[in-house]
Amino acid sequence: GLAWLVSLQKEDGAIHTGQLANYVTSASILALAAADRPEFKETIEEARGFLTALQADEGEGYAPGHRYYGGMGYGGDERPDLSNLQMAMDALAASGTQAEDESFNKALAFLERCQNRSESNDIAIDAGDDKGVIKSGNDGGSAYSPGESKAGFMTLADGTRVPRSYGSMTFALLKGYLLAGLEKDDPRVVAAWKWITANYSLDLNPGFEASADPSEAYQGLFYYFLAMARALELYGEDEITTADGVVHNWKSELGARLTDMQKGDGSWENTNSPRWFEGNPTLATAYALVIMESTL
């Protein structure tokens, strides 16, 4: 399997079969790095070069003040988002990239503009067509990209719209901050942790409560669990104390949740929503195994 991944590498260093170049390259780096074999060193380094070249910065005509600066997209000219960025940051870290690296410093600018924390988020986007101005909120959670949220918007009394924070992206934000070297007492990390403790859930992906579609909070559920496990593992705390004072051992609770979801043939599948390929038991089972490893 590892040899097959190596055989897919392109001239620009990317590893994929024609789609989702960032995601697949990042996942391939994680696999090859985990193997810890000297023969994969050059392949990993070339793939790392692809990811750093993919980052939206001066090379693509983005100034530091642009809302997309420091982000990463799918691999072409698509707009960056936090989902793609968190995968790439995971892979860069696995490839040996240090927290002080320029790519992580640039990523911080994008992370800040995804977070609903006005002290560090300077976005002000004119949505046009009388839709008002999109600005940062202050709940500490994260949207999908600067000024955009899969969970929709909240409209304030003055007409300003705020992207709704939701679980998977807030855990992605926390993980990104930690990979970029921020400490637990950094105000940006503190704000994200506050949102997480106020919205901790293993039933669904929190933040979609206002949606008229009850399936939305189940879309990408395994992805949410993976972001949670990776972020909390990096954060280094086994317990989360929620707003009601209840102490949760997230490892045992998440492990139990996944055990309960396993099918009789040993597989996992997102039966509430097949979106983002989670209706495919091969992908969902792979997610589940990686998550379960973090709970041990």
Taking each continuous run of H as one helix and of E as one strand, the counts in the chain are: 10, 6
Report which of 5, 78, 14 is spatially closest to residue 52, judged by C-alpha positions.
Answer: 14
Share of the chain above pLDDT 90, in %: 90
Report which of 217, 216, 238 is spatially closest to residue 294, judged by C-alpha positions.
Answer: 238
Q: Is the pLDDT of residue 247 over 90?
A: yes
Q: Give DSSP secondary structure letters for 64-86.
A: TTSTTTT-B-SSSSPPPBHHHHH
pLDDT for position 227: 97
Q: Is the pLDDT of residue 131 over 80?
A: no
Mean of all residue pLDDT scores within the chain: 95
pLDDT for position 223: 97
Cα separation, 104 vs 106, in Å, equals 5
pLDDT for position 78: 72
| C-alpha distance from residue 155 to each of 74, 166, 283 (Å) | 30, 16, 36
What number is the average pLDDT over the span 226-244? 95
| C-alpha distance from residue 66 to each of 58, 114, 124, 160 (Å) | 10, 13, 11, 20
Report which of 22, 16, 151 is spatially closest to residue 83, judged by C-alpha positions.
Answer: 22
Q: Is the pLDDT of residue 129 over 70?
A: no
Model confidence over 184-226: pLDDT tens digits? 999 999 999 999 999 999 999 999 988 888 889 999 999 999 9
pLDDT for position 192: 98
Window from 68-82, 158-172, 274-288 with minimum mean pLDDT: 68-82
pLDDT for position 77: 67
Q: Is the pLDDT of residue 16 over 90?
A: yes
pLDDT for position 13: 97
Question: Which span out of 67-76, 105-114, 271-280 was modeled with the highest average pLDDT?
Answer: 105-114
* pTM above threshold 0.85: yes
Share of the chain above pLDDT 70, in %: 99
pLDDT for position 209: 87
CB atoms within 10 A of CB 293: 10
Which one has a higher pLDDT value, 128 or 42? 42
Q: Is the pLDDT of residue 154 over 70?
A: yes
pLDDT for position 159: 86
